[in-house]
Structure 1
């Protein structure tokens, strides 16, 4: 069985739980039997990335060509974070390139705004954090007030802790419901709401 690769792309100002929650789910999934390798990456080589609440993370390397690319949110309504990433354009461009090459793309929270900038969400159902729903709707996505929206090769999750639900859903969808259930039990997390498909 071929190992599925997941890259979670980090940038200064990302929300800690948006990235670390799914990372822990995927790592626990691998320990429970999913053939999965997860990495925390950046676009350019760097020693440390500083998240929105001050956590400093040492990335595993730079963005490759993963099977799944997950984009966290953080900072849409403030300076820095997603707002700065969208304005700079390099992360959205990288997301668009990976999507065109066949990667599954997922976002957590306001990471959906990076997907929108990458033209990944046009005409697709999507969700984001409540503070960005209006902006996401203006981007040509069909916005749903949901915890997780699954449109096949593009998945989006609502705010912050919804990323855990998204990662558990991906474990269930791509690997096995029993693996997802085992991770859910281990993490003492109860998923909320139905996945919109």
Structure 2
């Protein structure tokens, strides 16, 4: 079986758990036997990324052509960084649109959905995000306010922060089988909440 590549894109002001939660889940999936390689990446070369709570993260490299591209959130309600700055700048949305056009599965956690919205990949699709951005998301997608994870095939979205763990567990289950996901869920002592909306 070919190895699936997953990349989680980082940017200054990203919420730590939005990125690191799914990263740990996916890495644990690989340790449990999933043919999966997960990388933390940036759009442009960077030695360190400073996240929303001050954690400094060293990325593995720059965005490539992954099978799965995950966009975390953070900073939508501020004007000085995070998703709001990334959306205003536009380059990440362009990169998401390009990867999507090339066949990548696109996923978001929390307000990362606003990057997907600006990339044009949520049009006429069900989607969710953090409660603080739900009204903004409604301009781009059919929102699922009560959903923790929404799976629309090649586009997946998750609610706020800890929902990224559930999203990553669902990706493991969907792509590599329920046994892998269950093993990771047990190891991490995490119990998923709610059903996946698809």
Structure 2 partner of 1:163: 164
For structure 2, the 5+ residue unaligned runs are none
Partners of 2:57 and 2:45 in 1: CA distance: 13
- Report the Cα offset of residue 51 of structure 1: 0.3
- Report the Cα offset of residue 55 of structure 1: 0.3
Partners of 2:92 and 2:159 in 1: CA distance: 20
- The answer to whether residue 25 in structure 2 is matched with residue 16 in structure 1 is no
Equivalent residues, number: 196
Partners of 2:4 and 2:184 in 1: CA distance: 17
Partners of 1:21 and 1:173 in 2: CA distance: 18
Structure 2 partner of 1:187: 188
- Report the Cα offset of residue 118 of structure 1: 0.2
- Report the Cα offset of residue 176 of structure 1: 1.1
Partners of 2:181 and 2:99 in 1: CA distance: 26
- TM-score normalised according to structure 2 size: 0.98
Structure 1 partner of 2:150: 149
Structure 2 partner of 1:35: 35
1:114-141 deviation digits (Å, cap 9, x = unpaired): 00000000000000000000000012x0
Q: What does 1:117-128 align with in structure 2 at a 5 Å threshold?
A: 117-128=118-129
- TM-score normalised according to structure 1 size: 0.99
Structure 1 consecutive aligned stretches of length 4 or more whose deviation exceeds 4 Å: none
RMSD, aligned α-carbons: 0.4
- Report the Cα offset of residue 59 of structure 1: 0.2
Helix, strand or coil for the counterpart of 2:157? strand
Partners of 1:43 and 1:62 in 2: CA distance: 6
Partners of 2:78 and 2:46 in 1: CA distance: 24
Partners of 1:176 and 1:101 in 2: CA distance: 25
Partners of 2:102 and 2:164 in 1: CA distance: 24
